[in-house]
Amino acid sequence: MRGKNNAKNRILKEIERKFLVANDAWKQAKCIGQRELKQAYLLRGSDRSVRIRVTDNMAFFTIKLGTGLTRSEFEYEIPQDEANEMIAEAELPCLHKTRYYIQNGTDTWELDVFHGALEGLLVAELELSDEEQYFAKPDWLGEEVTFDPAYLNSNLIERL
């Protein structure tokens, strides 16, 4: 269920499934884009997080609430220089990853390749329109970690 959505702000119910990547076969899949991401957390809790994300050419302030398959997400575009300044001033550790957008049938998977201390970790996510939505699993998917809090980005930051 998507709520208000425009170029600057996004309020929605995020429904996603998350999997580890089992092998390199994803590299032969149809990649329709990629971007570099840096993200830091101002608040991390078991059922909420407040994140600053900086991409190649924009930045976002995001609040996530809830647990499990469906969570509320409030996202606001902010000036990139201000995002970088907040991260630097607060001396926040950052996750660094390359996100690939992989087309599989009608689905677009977001596959994150982590860098730095998390080098070697690959996680694929698929956003769904409802919790019961069917989707084809690519052959490069491994174990599902949707319900494992260890694979939330807000918790992965502890491993830096």
Q: Give me the active site residues, please.
A: 41
8 Å CB contact between 7 and 115: no
The residues, ordered by sequence, that sit 6+ positions from 26 with a Cβ below 8 Å of its Cβ are 100, 102, 111, 122, 124, 138, 140
Task: Give the position of tokens 């052959």.
Answer: 139
Cα separation, 77 vs 67, whole angstroms: 24
